[in-house]
């Protein structure tokens, strides 16, 4: 009877980024394009500046998943494809 060797304790994973954005395209099979909006005050003038970024996110729920116009919550993940680095964790609000 060989004893099973205990695996060394796993190191705790780092905190993953979580963002909320608007789905702009759902034309791909398992992927959606999400627009992330970031607002901050200009360092010198104090005016609110808006910056947007489009990211691709994995959307595996199929028909029940996110569709264009939905507000979704994303979580950062390992590279799933050439351009996909995020995954949809939940649909916050459905499009009207």
pLDDT at 74 over 70: yes
Q: List, for residues 1-44, the tens digit of each pLDDT value.
A: 566 667 667 778 789 999 999 999 999 999 999 999 999 999 99
Pairing of strands 18-25, 71-76: antiparallel
Residue 64's pLDDT is: 80
Residue 1's pLDDT is: 55
Domain boundaries in the chain?
A: 18-93
- Enter the tokens of residue 45: 């003038």
- Enter the tokens of residue 34: 């999400």
The residue with greater pLDDT, 4 or 83, is: 83
Tell me which DSSP letter residue 14 carries. Answer: P
The CATH code belonging to domain 18-93 is 2.40.50.140
């Amino acid at each position: 009877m060989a004893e099973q060797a205990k695996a060394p304790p796993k190191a705790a994973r780092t905190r993953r980024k979580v963002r909320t954005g608007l789905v702009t395209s759902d034309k791909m099979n398992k992927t959606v394009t999400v627009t992330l909006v970031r607002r901050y005050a200009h360092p010198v003038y104090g005016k609110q500046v808006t910056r947007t970024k489009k990211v691709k996110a994995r959307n595996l729920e199929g028909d029940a998943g996110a569709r264009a116009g939905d507000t979704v919550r994303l979580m950062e993940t390992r590279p799933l494809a050439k351009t996909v680095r995020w995954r949809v964790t939940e649909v916050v609000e459905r499009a009207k």
